[in-house]
Structure 1
Amino acid sequence: MNTDEETLKRRRDKFSKEATLQIRNDLLRDAALLSRSSSDANLETIINDYAAREKIVRELEQLFQSRDNDALLEHGLRKLREVIVRRSSSDYKNDSKFVAQIHKIYSMSYEFYLGKNNTKLYSILQFLYEQFPGLKNEDGYSYDDVLIIFCSHISKDIYECLQVARSSISKSSMLLVQLSLIYTDRIDSSASWFEILARFRQDSLIYQFLERTKIIAEMELRCLNDCNLVYRQISLKAVERVWYHNLPIVESDDELRKKWKGSVIINSKEEMILMRKK
């Protein structure tokens, strides 16, 4: 090996060692997780040092806003959730700063997994329900409400839905039970489901959850099927007003045409008319 090659190799080795050391000293990028390691100096620092956790939280908040490295964001959120679960609730229930960190971490985790991973989303909601009953997001909406709807609309478990609702301190719990029973047991028309949904602001946790998990689109289709049974013909505007209660339609007009079982015509007023399948 000539001198130039030896010099280049030394530089590469030095860079590799420095990069490895830098990653090991970076609490966020360090690959260690409590679920994989019983003892690790970096993890012990995160468990016991508020400032170290807060530094990671701030980095995660920046990643959450930019969304330019979702893999690192997910890794960091998981790392901190495992630290929280490892700590006894008696350790943090009286520590307001730690509780504030927990709320930030789980709020970001909820938003990250919403519409992506229902299994992890359920574990996040379950933790908040058990450890912080009645917890609300920054806009004042309760995560307990979301768990009620998750149990009925995603898990299809009306028994657990009712259990959560009974113990919930949310003022919306009984309304959400009605929404759930319409969805699971069809105790009322699909139009009534949208009537209840219309009582929630479109930026609420409930509305956003149902939209991003495609439940609203599913209920729109159920409405169309009900309309096909009830009407010989009906305008799309009437469906929007009477059945969807003027809520924004998730599906485009073209998608609605495809899903409507009958024919579609455009009348002289350029309104879309849905005709019953013969």
Structure 2
Amino acid sequence: MRTYTLPAAVIAGALVLGVTACGSDQTDGSDGGGKLVVGATPTPAGEVLAYVQQNLAKKAGLDLEVKEFTDYVLPNTALQQGELDANLYQHTPYLEDFNKSRGTTLTPVTEVYLPPLGFYSEKVEDVTKLREGATVALPNDVTNEGRALGLLASQGVIGLKKGAGVNATPRDVADNPRKLKFKELEAAQLPRSLGDVDVAAVNNNFALDAGLSPQKDAILLESVKDNPYNNVLAVKKGDEDDPRVKKLAELLTSPEVKKFIEDTYKGAVLPA
């Protein structure tokens, strides 16, 4: 079960407007006015934005609308196509890889929080005790797959080719003494795969959505020290100076939001 309780006002105020890419009714915000439409995955990004919307935005003169998505692709394509003004759900390595592979022109504005990735299992309590031939489920996007493999390598479970870095894939596994089998899945499917695999690397937001506690349920959790995977508020290149975006960036890095993250997630998500 989750280890946090959301304030009723946050739950009641969250705008869940579907995952379909619909045209938004935002107006030109060059004068600092008009609605700012921001895409987000439900947890924690959608919850953090809902807190801002319900508690801080009106006072700051910001008309904020939140659209929630349940995957990692649509929030970026919608942003590139102008259906969103900004989004919050990804770290910079993922954003950079997305730009490179899809020809988008997205850019980070500010870091907001760190959601540590972890390994979860219904069969073992220690990744170093995995049986020979065990199946390991990994997120199939390049940066998070490399992130998960690097975490396994840090525990000596596997060895990676020199220079594999954050973009490592199973093809970069140079040392596999347990003959582990790797299963690549969409990140959102990983919590549901736990009954079918020995261990799965689950992104923080999908772990929380599934009722998993990173602090209590993960059998291996990446360290927050010197971690490059802080999630960022992102916009299409050229929109960094939009007054509405700047205002939202200030609110997302405010003491109020820092306290909300700390109080709500109890260390499962950390303010950047």
Question: TM-score with structure 1 length normalisation?
Answer: 0.26
Structure with the higher strand share, 1 or 2: 2
Which protein is bigger by CA-based radius of gyration?
1
